Amino acid sequence: MGLQDISSGALPIRRYIPELDGLRAFAIAGVLLVHSNFSFRQPVLEMIRCWGWIGVDLFFVISGYLITSILLSTREQPNYYRNFYARRGLRIWPLYYLLLLWVFVLSPHVGAWAKQDYDRSVIHWQYYLFYAQNLVYPRLGSFALVITWSLCVEEQFYMVWPFLVRLCSRRGLTMVALAVLVLATPFRMYLHAVNDSLGFFFTFSRLDPIAAGALVALHPRWFKHTWLLAPWAVWLLWRGHFEFVFLGLALTFAGFVAYAVTNENRVLAARPLRFMGKISYGVYILHPIFMGIFWMTPLYGLAAHLPYTHLWRMVGQVLFTIPFAAICWYLFEKPILGMKRFFETPGEEKERGVSMAVLAASAAD
């Protein structure tokens, strides 16, 4: 039996889901695209490039699904809280705090090329240490720091959701997730009137995709056809309807995730996409640093002598970043993740090849 044990009447769901790594590859591609220092110089293509930030919302839906699935499968197990938080910490914290060490401690001492552009009298490291910066700053400072807002949203979600999963019935949990999905939009409308950036970064205004992912774990049949809302989401993006676009994206991406977890797909499960999905967290954390380093190399200047200069610079930034993220995965992240074996539920080690731990390792844990 697989994850379908979680929900009676749910669509059949496999334990290991390589297609989710494929979706994560598309998500990180969008982030790299929007953060690249180039322009297509063609209105439609440039507009699509600027929409690359929606990759973060796809990450949120995947995370909401995976975390909820894992918690539902283990909520009756001993050491439920200890195992969850230890494994989450091993996955997220080492690379995140390495980034903070670089930005706040090392970069000021290694030369002008590494200087982080933020006001030290305003931006305080203590908020970043405790994942609170998105609640404090409407603008997050340097390029390397800006991307951390999404980690704050996820970490704050982790602080609450395991308790609700443990204490609530399935019906109660569904009601909570539906309430979050519905109320995020009016809350975002309120924040939009106060400060546009705060509405984008603040936790309660960005929980609808995570709630949608949680609902996919609880009721995957509900989202069997919501991918058909993609044209509505595109229309909202095109018209710039900030308040509603995140709801449209949440429902659309929930449809993609529901499809991925209930159907085999050779494209999404292709080896290159799975590899990119596996290292996507490292790419997300490291790409601002290595894109900045690329701008300082002769390769950046060399592209000025080539046709389609901006396109070559974008390709160069991506190709420059991915190898370093891969090295980081194999030499830093993967050895640390090996410590998760100390935080397994009874019997889990006997099923490691097909257990929930493998699912977690595939995309979230």
Q: Residue written as tokens 């982080």?
A: 116
* Cβ contact 23:362 at 8 Å: no
Cα 87 from Cα 93, distance rounded (Å) = 10
Least Cα distance to 158 among 198, 78, 100, 214 occurs for 214
Residue 153's alpha-carbon distances to 96, 161, 262, in angstroms, are 14, 12, 27
For Cα atoms 332, 123, 151, give the angle at the middle one, nearest 5 degrees: 40
Q: What is the DSSP letter of 132?
A: -
User: Residue 362: left if φ>0, alpha if ψ -120 to 50, beta else—which one?
Assistant: alpha
pLDDT value of residue 111:
67
pLDDT value of residue 110:
75
pLDDT value of residue 38:
74
pLDDT value of residue 108:
78
Please tell me the total count of domains within the chain: 1
pLDDT value of residue 304:
78
Q: Give the residue numbers spanning the domain of 359.
A: 3-363
pLDDT in tens, 69-106: 999 999 999 999 999 999 999 999 999 999 999 988 88
How many CB atoms are closer than 10 A to CB 197?
Answer: 14
* Cβ contact 58:27 at 8 Å: yes
Residues comprising the chain, all counted: 365
Cα 45 from Cα 363, distance rounded (Å) = 30
End-to-end CA distance of the chain: 21
pLDDT value of residue 106:
85
pTM, two decimal places = 0.89
Cα 57 from Cα 321, distance rounded (Å) = 22
Cα 8 from Cα 218, distance rounded (Å) = 9
pLDDT value of residue 306:
82
Cα 186 from Cα 189, distance rounded (Å) = 5
pLDDT value of residue 138:
65
Least Cα distance to 147 among 339, 345, 291, 250 occurs for 291
How many CB atoms are closer than 10 A to CB 351?
Answer: 13
User: Residue 79: left if φ>0, alpha if ψ -120 to 50, beta else—which one?
Assistant: left
Cα 334 from Cα 324, distance rounded (Å) = 14
Low-confidence ranges of the chain (pLDDT < 70): 1-15, 111-115, 138-141, 345-365
